[in-house]
Amino acid sequence: ISFNCVDSSLSSLKNCQSYINTGMDIATHVAFDLVESFNDVEDVNSMENVMLEYAAMDRELNHYMRAIEETVNQIKREKPENIPDLKCLVKEKFTALESKNSDSDLQRNEKYVYFKDQLKEMRKQFCHPSDNGNEAIEQIDEDIAVTQSQMNFICPITQMEMKRPVRNKVCGHTYEEDAILKIIQTRKQQKKEVRCPKIGCSHTNVKESDLVPDEALKRAIDSQNKQ
């Protein structure tokens, strides 16, 4: 049995998946723009709903591709004399996978997790000024917040303001991308693990795969520099 046609279809489905990923990236940046420009919470929440819809599409596509791959592998393994009904077998496996769906699957989607984490950071960096009328206390709080923010702008490795901050998903600390990657590469050649460069952090195995761009922090630094 030739599976060239199936392989071609799988390739097309993987292209669809890349479109979903691009859509999630765009929705994430739109949400960040909305927070940065102090837009209505409902607008930001609508972007979160878009992200969940994309996550559901991604899950469905993954299940369908998995059903096809498992069916093909089963046929290759069993080598039946008569060509089985591929469509029926794939549908059976796909239905079984979909029956185990839960909302928590969507919450665990990697891009959705990143979206939620960065959205929280964005709200911290671009918080709405409170209108409690006490301007003096407000100004002091704001000054403290600005000082703390500026301290967070400094890379623990270079001791300079970050241009391309990345966040460690394990310990939550941020570093200048080039600086931490250089350390990881050097230690890799020495066959040694990398300790988190942030003073006081006990995390002893920093990996490149654990680093994600810290868009919220980058926007806060850019905003501060514009002012």
Quick: pLDDT tens for 101-131: 999 999 999 999 999 999 998 888 886 544 4
Cβ-contact 44, 120 below 8 angstroms:
no
Cβ-contact 160, 176 below 8 angstroms:
yes
Cβ-contact 169, 161 below 8 angstroms:
no
CA quadruple 163, 167, 172, 173: dihedral sign: negative
* 204 CB-near residues (< 8 Å, 6+ apart): 193, 194, 195, 196
Superfamily classification of domain 165-225: Zinc/RING finger domain, C3HC4 (zinc finger) (3.30.40.10)
The residue extents of the domains of the chain are 3-126, 165-225
Q: What is the pTM of this model?
A: 0.76
Q: What is the pLDDT of residues 157-181, one digit of tens each?
A: 999 999 999 999 999 999 999 999 9
3-state secondary structure of 166: strand
pLDDT category of residue 2 using cuts at 50, 70 and 90: low
pLDDT category of residue 132 using cuts at 50, 70 and 90: very low
pLDDT at position 150 over 90: no
Give the mean model confidence (pLDDT) for residues 210-226: 91
pLDDT at position 215 over 50: yes
Q: Which pLDDT score is estimated for 137?
A: 45
Local structure of residue 102 (DSSP, 8 states): -
Six token digits for residue 217: 């922090």
Q: What angle do CA 219, 109, 121 make, to 5 degrees?
A: 25
The H or E element spanning position 174 is strand 174-176
CB burial of 45-67 (b: ≥16 within 10 Å; e: otherwise) equals: eebbebbeebbbbbbeeebbbeb
Write down the mean pLDDT value for the chain.
Answer: 87
pLDDT at position 145 over 50: no
Six token digits for residue 86: 């591929």
Q: In the beta sheet, which residues pair with residue 165?
A: 176
Six token digits for residue 56: 């559901």
The Cα–Cα gap between 182 and 189 comes to 11
- Phi/psi for 176 (5° steps) reads -70, 130
What Cα–Cα distance (Å) separates residue 72 from each residue in 5, 67, 134, 185?
A: 12, 9, 69, 40
Q: Which pLDDT score is estimated for 33?
A: 92
Give the mean model confidence (pLDDT) for residues 32-40: 85
The H or E element spanning position 213 is strand 211-213
pLDDT category of residue 48 using cuts at 50, 70 and 90: very high
